[in-house]
Structure 1
Amino acid sequence: MTVVPLNNLSICAAAALIISCLSIDASSSWYVAYLILAMCLCAINRLFLNAEKFIVGRDWVMVIGGDKELSKLNATLLTLDQFTNVIGPLVTGALVTWVGLRETVGIFGAASLISMLFKSVFLRLLYTSNRELHVKEDTTTSNELTNSLLKESVIYTYWRQESFSAAFGMSLLFMTVMGFGGLAVGYGSSAGLPEFIIGAFRSYGSITAILGAFSYAFFEKRYGVFTSGILGLIVQQIFAVLAVSSVFLPGSPMNIGGYFGNFTTGNWVHSMIHSFDAQNATGFDPHVDWSNFSSNGVSLASIVVFLIAIASARYGLWCLDLATTHIMQVTIPETERNTVFGVHNALCQTFSVLKDILVIILPLPATFAICIFISYGFVSAGHLFFVYYVVKTKHSPHAKRKITVVVCPGKDDDSVML
């Protein structure tokens, strides 16, 4: 698999460039050049990492697991991904503290070379041990389908899929600030929460995501994909409403009227610029008074409820995500699977970028509530798209609680109970 060495080699090269940056003076022009090259290589790594995930986690898993084990394998892969997200920052922080930044980068570069070897060997063994991975579709049918695909855009290929509404609904969920990324961490810090408390909430969010993945495998086996997806949707919707409600609780920084009442272009530009250089920071260490449930005299009710809500919502999010992935896997023809999942990932990242742009436009804690309201609208729209797909499919005369698995056109179809 070519994406494996390309993926790891780009990381190794990026690590070498970062080490070079740390070895020269920051005012040197070479410092900027090496840094830009390192970021470009990291972007290339991300590209091939996604390709690798599509091939193994969206395509090969269909053959390896089959209909009965597909949900279990999807949940296992997602759980492993979440587990690495938990231990990754811990390992990085420990290495930087113990051995230093430059040595840590070198360790990661060496680890990438070792992982390249192991992944290449493992994937090769996996390929050779599963004869079904060697089987290609009927050449004539495949060529005819390929020629037809060349005449249409990848967007149209994505749009005409049976699972389009469910997939598009999932992509809308990326347009939200109600996730445990840097935005939620910054919002928590601005409210006066200590870093270790925010870290504890992030760990709790990862645990709920893992529980959601395991729960999906359990419920899907007993009640089907549709019911499991609806369950996740309901859980996420409940906690999304709780997150929206948090902006009206004591300690909320929401001051929309005051912000727009004193709005000037100069103040907006100043706030936007300083949102990147940390000059909007309070400049003091937060002191939490647990007896009054406040930090530096400000109530923590709003921010704590918000963080609990978005961390707990990850349980429902991953149930819904796995259900949508399952639906896409079993309804998309094999020859179009990587194309559709590629467009889907690009669409998800586009909405994620739009979310970042929204926060750049509204950079202050006083206006973060607007971002939350808009995010809730997109989340609810995504849920409606999934519900529409469920209703449409269940009432379709060709799908009485079943979806056809398109693997080899012209051959007998398999089906999986939804």
Structure 2
Amino acid sequence: STWNDRFFEFATFVFIMDIFKDTLLPSSLYGFVFTASGILFSSVVGKWIDCTARLQAIRTLIPVKRISNVLASLGFLVLFTYFDYEAIPEDAKPLCYTIFGLIVATGGALKLSSVGVSIVVEKDWLVMMAQSNSAVLTRVNSIMRRIELVSKMVTPLMFGFVVAAQSPRFCVLFIGFWSAISMFLELHLIQKVYDCIPCLSEDKELMVGHYLGVPTGDDMSGADEDPSDTLSRNHKHHTSYFKRVYRDWLIYYNHPIFAVSLSYAMIYMSVLSIAGTMVSWLKWKGYSDSHIGGMRSIMTLLAIVGTFLMPLMSRRWGLMKTAQVSLILEWLALIPVICSFFIYQSWFTGVLLIAGISLSRMCVWIFDLSQMQILQENVTNSQTGLIHGWHFTLCNLFDLGQFLLTMIWSDPQLFKIPATISFLMIFLAACTFSR
């Protein structure tokens, strides 16, 4: 599943830039909708999971995820086969944009189904399997994280190999076919895991009444009340809902970890990573798919190194200082990257770009693991959902910001502007953490 996700994630932005060669707007739009879907509907998916049996939930989410991959692949195949964007007739452009709009829509479905699978597997199944054994849970979480990083490192290389050996059209067919086949494989393996772990078949508390508004108890006693009283009660209900949201925000804002959480969220507003819109920009610059895949693999390899360095640094300096130092080092590592946008373009600027970004991502992962443990150790059990919920929302909002930047400055020649703003955001994140 992780392999499939990382392969499709990397390929999507390459395909978009292969089709729309002279603008970053389509890739930014895709990323914007992908992230916005997570902000708007992740909580709905989470509530649905709470109200659904474990096996039923995962059996629903996996097909949605893979069918989204297949539909997007079909859309890309049509665009590659029948449309040459540079020579397309004006009367055919609406159809081209419509097909791309459908690809964007599948991106939203893919995001929500991915969130759902993550919640089911990482937040429920793994916890049940660990049976309250903290050491086991830590080990399993570490293995899951490294699987993801290795997939991020290897899939770009495989993508570059497939494209170099065949063509982008063949790669689209490969992804669509593999997504369809892997759906059945994933469902089979999930069923085997479910059958082998007896505790997964235990009933969980399905909070249908709490989450879906099913009337219970005193609510049922008012079924025959006057309609005007019902309207008044509904108005008070909506008012109290917004009051609760504001109250929860104040709890989050006044919590001691707010500065740590905010600084971490701020680094999401960055295009300075070999992913998303930067992949599209590198394609515009003339880098081959294999070169981009190699850059991403180097970046991910150093990120894995960061996961091993963090425990050593935290034992020596403590969590807070480790997080602070890693954030400052991330900013310093990006100085040569920013310089590469403003000096004469040569092979040396490419070296500055990949070296600076790779080192910065190593620091990002050290900071990521540090802030995660800071939050875990300083948030009480009674506030876990509230604090982490706002933390997740804030991260997605800043992540949305990076796509807004490249939508505003969609000309690839102006990519230096979003890059510079990203650099300043990381500096502000370091200042926020140190306040």
* TM more than 0.5: yes
Q: Cα 1:157–1:359, aligned 2, differ >3 Å: closer, same or farther?
A: same
1:72–1:217 Cα contact (<8 Å) kept: no
1:1-150 mapped onto 2 (5 Å cutoff): 1=54, 2-15=56-69, 17=71, 39-54=104-119, 56-57=121-122, 64=130, 74-91=141-158, 97=166, 101-102=172-173, 104-122=175-193, 128=199
Match of 1:348 among 395, 414, 433: 395
Letter of the 2:361 counterpart: R
The corresponding residue for 1:166 is: 260
Q: Secondary structure at the match of 2:244?
A: coil
2:425 is equivalent to residue 378 of structure 1 = yes
Asked if the contact 1:209/1:315 (under 8 Å) is kept, the reply is yes
Checking the alignment, whether the CA contact within 8 Å between 1:59 and 1:338 is kept in structure 2 is no
Q: What is the DSSP-based 3-state SS (H/G/I as helix, E as strand, rest coil) of the residue aligned with 2:334?
A: helix
Q: Which amino acid aligns with 1:111?
A: S
1:225 aligns with 2:319: yes
Q: Among 284, 287, 298, which residue is 1:204 paired with?
A: 298
Residue 373 of structure 2 aligns with which residue?
Answer: 326
1:402 maps to which residue? none
Secondary structure of residue in 1 paired with 2:326: helix
Which stretches in structure 1 are left out of the alignment for 5+ residues? 136-147, 252-297, 389-418
**Residue identity in the other structure for 2:187:** M
Equivalent position amino acid for 2:173 in 1: R
Deviation at 1:374, TM superposition (A): 1.4
In 2 relative to 1, CA 10–160 (structure 1 residues): closer, same or farther, beyond 3 Å?
Answer: farther
* One-letter amino acid of the counterpart of residue 385, structure 1: T
Q: Is the 8 A contact 2:157 2:297 kept in 1?
A: no
SS state of the match for residue 415, structure 2? helix
TM-score (structure 1 length as normaliser): 0.64
Q: Is the 8 A contact 1:3 1:49 kept in 2?
A: no
Contact kept? 1:188, 1:303, Cα under 8 Å:
no
- How far has the Cα of 1:381 moved from its partner? 1.6
Partner of 1:243: 337
- Shift in Å, 1:41: 4.6
Aligned to 2:87: none
- Give the 3 Å change call, closer, same or farther, for CA 341–5 of structure 1 in structure 2: farther
CA distance 1:104–1:39, shift in 2 (3 Å): same
Instruction: Name the CA distance, whole Å, in 2 between partners of 1:61 and 1:150.
Output: 34
- Residue ranges of structure 2 left out of the alignment (5+ in a row): 1-53, 83-91, 206-239
1:152 has 2:282 as partner: no
Which letter maps to 2:253? W
Alpha-carbon offset, residue 162 of structure 1: 3.6
Contact map agreement 2:261 2:391 (CA 8 A) in 1 = yes
Q: What secondary structure does 1:177 align onto?
A: coil
Query: What's the CA shift string for 1:270-321, capped at 9, x where partnerless?
Result: xxxxxxxxxxxxxxxxxxxxxxxxxxxx523334212210121110000101
Q: Which residue, 346, 350, 357 being the options, matches 1:310?
A: 357
Q: Could you tell me which residue of structure 2 aligns to residue 184 of structure 1?
A: 278
Q: Give aligned pairs, total.
A: 330
Measure, in 1, the Cα distance between the counterparts of 2:317 and 2:138.
12
Distance 1:367 1:20 in 2: 32
Q: Residue type of the partner of 1:239?
A: A
Q: What amino acid is aligned across from residue 114 of structure 2 in structure 1?
A: L
User: CA shift at 1:236, angstroms?
Assistant: 0.9
- 1:331-376 CA deviation, whole Å, 9 max, x = no partner? 3344543454344333222222221221232234543333222112
**CA drift at 1:203:** 1.2
Residues 177/45 of structure 1: CA separation in 2 closer, same or farther (3 Å cut): closer
- Relative to 1, partners in 2 of residues 1:18 and 1:203: Cα closer, same or farther, differing over 3 Å? closer
Residues 4, 223 of structure 1: CA spacing in aligned structure 2 closer, same or farther, 3 A cutoff?
farther
Shift in Å, 1:111: 0.4
How far is the alpha carbon of 1:91 from its aligned partner? 4.5
Aligned to 1:359: 406
Alignment CA distance shift 1:209-1:39 (3 Å) = same
**Match for 2:60: what amino acid?**
L
- The one-letter code matched in structure 2 to 1:213 is T
The SS at the match of 1:152 is: helix
2:328 pairs with 234, 249, 264, which one? 234
Amino acid at match of 1:46: K
Q: Distance in 2 between the 1:19 and 1:237 partners?
A: 37
Q: Matches of 1:241 and 1:58 in 2, distance apart? A: 38
Report the alpha carbon displacement of residue 5 of structure 1 after superposing the two structures with TM.
Answer: 2.2
Q: 1:105 corresponds to which letter in structure 2?
A: G
2:434 is matched with 387
What TM-score, normalized to structure 2? 0.62
Percent identity of equivalent pairs: 18
CA distance in 1, matches of 2:107, 2:198: 28
Residues 1:216 and 1:365: Cα distance change in structure 2 (over 3 Å): same
Counterpart contact for 2:194–2:200, Cα < 8 Å: no
